[in-house]
Structure 1
Amino acid sequence: MLAIERKNEILATLQKEQRVLVAELSQKYNVTEETIRRDLEKLEKEGFVKKTYGGAVLNNNTNVDLPLRIREKTNKKEKQIIAKLVAELVEEGETIMLDSSSTSLMAAKNLKQMKKLTVITNSVEVLIELSGNKGINVISTGGMLRDASLSLVGKTAERTLMNFNVDKAIISCKGVDLEKGITESNENEAEIKNVMRNCAKTTILAIDNSKFDNVSFIKVPDLKKNDILVTDKVLPDKWSQYFEDRSIQIITEN
């Protein structure tokens, strides 16, 4: 295994479990503990982790944005459930917007069987995923490339989005809190999501259960009446009441 592959796997484990131990990683990857320590030192310099005695913990600062390749591996089963539910909400002939989240990428995989659909996206990965599908008209926003998320952001992307009126905007976020509302880790990504929401008749917020009761760096406008929340598990009563009070539809697997 290449060093970069091992680092990515370690980061994916941290994203899921929040903590790793040097000794356990050394055995898992059949490398020396010193090699693992160097991996963790590099991840710490990149801002993703904080070293602790005998291991490391995930850096949960509000503005930390993990690479898309890592996010794709995190809560994958839950995101697959959500992606299927989201795809079922999209009808033939509609025009939709997809953000650059890993959940939107999975939703795109489920939309490939559509016979007539227009997709506007700032995600490089979604563009690639939907390429070659004759029934799907794909429009790129253009803009400045963000390496971490493989997304196109900035004023060019925002101006492109503003030219369109769509049926649905499908977005995700880093956290949802009862008091702080919807939040995102990066200002440019937050602005793209905001513009998408303003262009759409209906916004679909697609988030797995780990996003609830979390607060990230920057506020994204909250869902409005008749928008839709899609998640993988039945919500606790406090959250069900929160969305019911705001006339937001909740869709889960159960």
Structure 2
Amino acid sequence: MKIDRINQIKELLQEKNTISIEKLCATFDVSKNTIRRDIAELEKQDVIKKIYGGIMLKKSMGEPEPFASREVKYSNEKKIVARLAANFIKDDDVVFIDSGTTTMHIISALAHIRNLTIITTSLYVINAAVNYTHFNIICTGGNFYFPSRAFVGSSVLKCLDNYNISKIFLASAGVSLENGVTNTSPLECETKKHLMGGNAQKILLIDSSKIEKSSLMTYAELKDFDDVIIDRKPAQKYVDYFKKNNVKLHYDDFSGKI
């Protein structure tokens, strides 16, 4: 499948940085024309640049934007999304809150919730949640991934399997109808994919700047989510897509104020 092959090419580039067209043809057992079409798609995503006889990973794609700079961008929009997301959380819930500069804002809107268990990979979520003594906080542990201030690795997946999570709140670096829900870090994508395979209610949190953006790897299709929360109404093609695929869309058009 094309999207799977493109994601695998991205993974190879993360490991090797450069790869030849001949090697790609042999790895995937496809023609040069097929690989050239994949390369054209990767160029469109601004993931790679062509070199003689092959391709190489763009450094900007391999190195996520620093957390501190992401934190201040579109902060008002992110707080709107987080406020809407907090409405999904009820007393006695067991929820997973993803790392990210949007999800971290959910905690401050949960002061009234009782007997809430929060499972997270995010250092920022942990630091925010410790201010509320009535929360039960479970950190997955794992290897600390500094660019996202998050824990990653196989031990995270093993930890998550121990709990009956009712709702998961996931973030994304960019979404599109063509490439789905994407993220910069392969290790974080591994965690997100694992969670998407469970039975919990799946809720995507994005601010409107993430629409029509694609990052390094796809971890889910938009139709895989039960709910999508955004700060304002997206383009009509997204509204139509969500309706067609029975995904509930939530947004706030109150002039961008919270």
Number of matched pairs: 196
Instruction: Determine whether 1:177 maps to 2:154.
Output: no
Q: What is the CA distance between 1:235 and its match in structure 2?
A: 1.5
In 2, the alpha carbon distance for the partners of 1:211 and 1:245 equals: 21
The residue aligned with 2:153 is 154
The alignment partner of 2:197 has SS state of helix
The alignment partner of 2:151 has SS state of strand
The residue aligned with 1:73 is 72
Identity, % of aligned positions: 28
Q: What is the CA distance between 1:67 and its match in structure 2?
A: 2.1
The residue aligned with 1:92 is 91
The alignment partner of 1:191 has SS state of helix
- Is the 8 Å Cα contact of residues 187 and 218 (structure 1) preserved in structure 2? yes
In 2, the alpha carbon distance for the partners of 1:140 and 1:226 equals: 24
The alignment partner of 1:89 has SS state of coil
For 1:128-167, what per-residue CA distance to the aligned partner results, in whole angstroms no more than 9, with x for missing partners?
Answer: 1111422210000000001111100001111111222211
Between 1:201-210 and 1:124-133, the stretch displaced more is 124-133
User: TM (normalized to structure 2)?
Assistant: 0.72
The residue aligned with 2:132 is 133
The alignment partner of 2:163 has SS state of coil
For 1:16-68, what per-residue CA distance to the aligned partner results, in whole angstroms no more than 9, with x for missing partners?
Answer: xxxxxxxxxxxxxxxxxxxxxxxxxxxxxxxxxxxxxxxxxxx9944441222
In 1, the alpha carbon distance for the partners of 2:225 and 2:100 equals: 22
Q: What is the CA distance between 1:223 and its match in structure 2?
A: 4.3
In 1, the alpha carbon distance for the partners of 2:82 and 2:214 equals: 23
Gaps of 5+ in 2: 1-57, 254-258
The alignment partner of 1:72 has SS state of helix
- Is the 8 Å Cα contact of residues 91 and 114 (structure 2) preserved in structure 1? yes
- Is the 8 Å Cα contact of residues 63 and 216 (structure 1) preserved in structure 2? no
The residue aligned with 1:210 is 209
For 1:74-98, what per-residue CA distance to the aligned partner results, in whole angstroms no more than 9, with x for missing partners?
Answer: 1000001001000011111111001
In 1, the alpha carbon distance for the partners of 2:86 and 2:193 equals: 21
Q: Given residue 141 of structure 2, which amino acid in structure 1 is its aligned partner?
A: G
The residue aligned with 1:116 is 115
In 2, the alpha carbon distance for the partners of 1:251 and 1:167 equals: 19
Which structure 2 residues correspond to residues 1-254 of structure 1 after superposition, within 5 A?
Answer: 61-224=60-223, 227-254=226-253
Evaluate the alpha carbon distance shift between residue 101 and residue 200 of structure 1 in structure 2; reply closer, same or farther with a 3 A threshold.
farther
In 1, the alpha carbon distance for the partners of 2:175 and 2:118 equals: 26
- Is the 8 Å Cα contact of residues 179 and 218 (structure 2) preserved in structure 1? yes
Evaluate the alpha carbon distance shift between residue 222 and residue 135 of structure 1 in structure 2; reply closer, same or farther with a 3 A threshold.
same
Q: What is the CA distance between 1:71 and its match in structure 2?
A: 1.4
In 2, the alpha carbon distance for the partners of 1:131 and 1:112 equals: 12
Q: Given residue 252 of structure 1, which amino acid in structure 2 is its aligned partner?
A: Y
- Is the 8 Å Cα contact of residues 165 and 199 (structure 1) preserved in structure 2? no
Between 1:220-229 and 1:232-241, the stretch displaced more is 220-229
The alignment partner of 2:172 has SS state of coil
- Is the 8 Å Cα contact of residues 122 and 151 (structure 2) preserved in structure 1? yes
Q: What is the CA distance between 1:225 and its match in structure 2?
A: 6.0
The alignment partner of 1:119 has SS state of strand
- Is the 8 Å Cα contact of residues 97 and 169 (structure 1) preserved in structure 2? yes
Gaps of 5+ in 1: 1-58
In 2, the alpha carbon distance for the partners of 1:183 and 1:225 equals: 13
For 1:152-188, what per-residue CA distance to the aligned partner results, in whole angstroms no more than 9, with x for missing partners?
Answer: 0001111111222211000110111111111111101
RMSD across aligned C-alpha pairs, in angstroms? 1.7
